[in-house]
Structure 1
Amino acid sequence: MRSCWRSAVATRSSSISRPRPIGDARWRRAELGAQPDLTAYRLFHGDAEGAPGLAIDRYAEVVVVHADSAAVLERWLPEIREDLRDFASAYVKVHPRRASRLTGQDMQQAAPAAPLWGLGVHDVEAIEGGVRYLVRPDAGLSVGLFLDMRDVRAWLRGNARGLSVLNLFAYTCSFGVSASLGGARRVLNLDLSRAYLEWGKHNYRLNRLTLDERDFVYGDAFDWLGRFARRGERFDLVIVDPPSFSSSPFSVTRDYPRLAEAAARVVAPTGILLAATNHAGTSDERFEAWLQNGLTRAGRHGQLAQRWHEPSADFPLAPGRTHPYLKVRALVLD
């Protein structure tokens, strides 16, 4: 992909005469692009970089374009084609307000399986901090790796040694992979999608990790947290990262305190609750109140060990926003 960054420099020089938000953003990320152990990051964050409602992610030689509407995509399509033409393939995702309610036909229109240009690509191997992840650009609206969690995955690799870990809402198990690579004694990945758990197993294999089928559990988080609590089973680290919008009855704004309570009940003494939400309408203060509410109901006390927001290098804060959209806390419980 070195040719991409030569093109980025050329794009920058040609943009002096007229604004080119996407080309300029590529130039600002040249340092990220030069890292040999990083081929997955946000290439363009339009809300903060001159194109509200548009975002572009890089996964090795493939770009994935996210638009809030077909009108936004149409507005920026000429610049996308011009400024990203050196990437081998591009895919488009048009995100509706209620993605969980999409029918199969609606999903095909929102996230076409065919690329915008280039050859069709089903599997892409992306690298982050030297860790390999399987990304599927043609797999609906979510392609397998949430790039804004890069710093949290790095923290897990550096802090999980010897721990037992429960990874709730595991998705494709990137947190599980990170904790395992960090030397965790055991990681149990739990999700309500068998397909995502199988995807997670691919990620384990990509990184040559020992794979135990018993550590990939299909089921509901509340159901399993109740089982663990009744059995007296505890974990040194419990990861809670529920989707903001889901086809399940779970609602982040209504149910997060209850989730934090259930998770806190299975955290071992002096263990860690790692809790996250990407709900943009929730402030840091409100999120922390949810966590405090849950801990109080569980009879636990927590001390803040670490906090994260989206990485500023490729997720700059949009003008006028009072708080980042991603909130992550690591709390040490008594």
Structure 2
Amino acid sequence: MSNEIVLTLKTDFAEKFKNGYPLISKESISDWSRVPSEGSILKLFDEKKNFIAKGYHGIQNKGYGWVLSTKEDEIIDITLFKNKISSAIKYREDFYQDDKTTAFRVFNGEGDGVGGLTIDYFDGYYLLTWYSIGIYEFREEILEALKLTVEYKGIYQKKRFDSKGMYLNENDDFLYGQKAPEPLIVKENGANFAIYLDDGAMVGVFLDQREVRKTIRDKYAKGKSALNTFSYTGVFSVFAALGGATQTTSVDLAKRSRPKTQEQFTINSIDLDKQSIIVEDVFDYFKYAVRKKLSFDIVIVDPPSFARSKKRTFSANKDYVKLLKEVITITSKNGLIVASTNSANFSMMTFRDFIKTAFKELRVKYKVEESFSLPKDFKVLNECKESDYLKVVFIRRFG
């Protein structure tokens, strides 16, 4: 059993926790210096010594811990985690019944009651991702709870922390059951994805963009040319091609993006001769496209929140307007821009302001066709809206 530490909430924070807010920040606690180590159980009281909530101490980019229970006598053990996982599974019953989609999120951190932990499902395999040393201290209880709750082919883990909060690779991603084939072929809305459960921090696809990809395929791609920037393994390009795009261009700086993208096309029986895969800095490619007077009917732009290369640093907060202006320049008249960000540091309203500013500065008119946030399996608490990080806007360029 982890240490239990009694802490007092500052008055202006106590009400938020009473109303279900789950994130414990350093600023919310009167005397944070009393917390000895990550993984400690935190019992939170208001200044009148009324019990408010119980959680754990775990440092990640969002804060210093998460609430696990609002019951003072509830023990943080296998039973608690089993109940939360069981509830999460029930919430996603329809996903398990869909044979056209065999990859989805089973447990989404604070949305399912345990901040700092996610669990993804890949055709019978489960992947747990730990985001802090604090939640990793409960790994035995959580893993046992998962094994008691689900039938599984195999269980894997990713540790997204070290002294700097980054991915820690100890070559131990495989935990239980049988190892997955490499690649493991999963389905999303009928399309195939090749993923690798034991190959670094990422598996090859971001599950939160499922509805966005489907929309591109089903509504916008037919007969269009598509440019996929920051393309990673090219899955947006795959869906554009499956939707009838005349040609796709995928651009990413990572050298491994070429073989990974080729693999995704191949397992979907897509003709590689009609697809262009370019390994280059996206911003350099923009300059090339302008120089060659290239334009595209659809431009997909889904950059990381923060990235640094030898030439430049990109921050979504500071640089998205500039990025959009580059995208607008190479988008055909009446073309479509799919603008996306996973930055949790600003709201959808602010993101729409970025879009407005970019078009205004270029004196180009536009119309928002539709927008997306996280899908159902990426459950978000109403009391913690900042966890709904995904913002995607489909923009029609005029003029």
TM bin (shorter chain):
0.7 to 0.9
Give the RMSD, CA atoms, in angstroms: 2.2
SS in 1 for 2:215: helix
Q: 1:113 touches 1:140 (CA, 8 Å); kept in 2? A: no
Equivalent residues in 2 for 1:135-214, closer than 5 Å: 135-158=195-218, 159-212=220-273
1:89 aligns with 2:154: yes
SS in 2 for 1:178: helix
Distance 2:188 2:207 in 1: 9
Report sequence identity in percent: 27
Q: 1:270 touches 1:332 (CA, 8 Å); kept in 2? A: yes
Distance change in 2, residues 1:166/1:120 (3 Å): same
What residue in structure 1 maps to residue 185 of structure 2? Answer: 125
Q: 1:92 touches 1:116 (CA, 8 Å); kept in 2? A: yes
Q: CA deviation at 1:98?
A: 9.4
Q: CA deviation at 1:300?
A: 1.7
What residue in structure 1 maps to residue 6 of structure 2? Answer: none
Count of residues in correspondence between the two structures: 313
State which drifts further: 278-287 or 239-248.
239-248
TM-score, normalised to structure 1, is 0.88
Distance 1:82 1:145 in 2: 27
Distance 2:240 2:370 in 1: 16
1:227 aligns with 2:292: no
Deviations 1:72-107 (A, max 9, x none): 1332532333324521222211223898x96xxx64
Distance 2:81 2:302 in 1: 41
Q: 1:116 aligns with which of 149, 168, 175?
A: 175
Equivalent residues in 2 for 1:11-90, closer than 5 Å: 20-84=83-147, 86-90=151-155
TM-score, normalised to structure 2, is 0.74
SS in 2 for 1:321: helix
Distance 2:307 2:370 in 1: 27
1:259 aligns with 2:320: no
Q: 1:113 touches 1:139 (CA, 8 Å); kept in 2? A: no
Structure 2 runs not aligned, ≥5 long: 1-77
SS in 2 for 1:117: strand
Larger strand proportion, structure 1 or 2?
A: 2
Q: Which one scores higher on RCO, CA 8 angstroms, separation ≥ 6?
A: 1
What residue in structure 2 maps to residue 275 of structure 1? Answer: 339
Q: 2:109 touches 2:116 (CA, 8 Å); kept in 1? A: yes
Q: 2:277 aligns with which of 198, 216, 225?
A: 216
Letter in 2 for 1:201: Q
Letter in 2 for 1:325: Y
Distance change in 2, residues 1:214/1:184 (3 Å): closer
Deviations 1:260-306 (A, max 9, x none): 00000000000011100011121011111222222223332210001
Distance 1:21 1:153 in 2: 30
Letter in 2 for 1:43: V
Letter in 2 for 1:137: L
Distance change in 2, residues 1:177/1:301 (3 Å): same
State which drifts further: 73-82 or 200-209.
73-82
Distance 2:162 2:344 in 1: 13
Structure 1 runs not aligned, ≥5 long: 1-14
Q: 2:159 touches 2:168 (CA, 8 Å); kept in 1? A: no
Q: 2:297 touches 2:331 (CA, 8 Å); kept in 1? A: yes
Q: 1:56 touches 1:66 (CA, 8 Å); kept in 2? A: yes
Letter in 1 for 2:211: D
Distance 1:328 1:97 in 2: 31
Distance change in 2, residues 1:18/1:203 (3 Å): closer
Q: 2:130 touches 2:161 (CA, 8 Å); kept in 1? A: no
Letter in 1 for 2:109: G
SS in 2 for 1:222: helix
Q: CA deviation at 1:319?
A: 4.2
Q: CA deviation at 1:50?
A: 1.1
Q: CA deviation at 1:250?
A: 1.5
State which drifts further: 161-170 or 68-77.
68-77
SS in 1 for 2:128: strand
Letter in 2 for 1:250: F
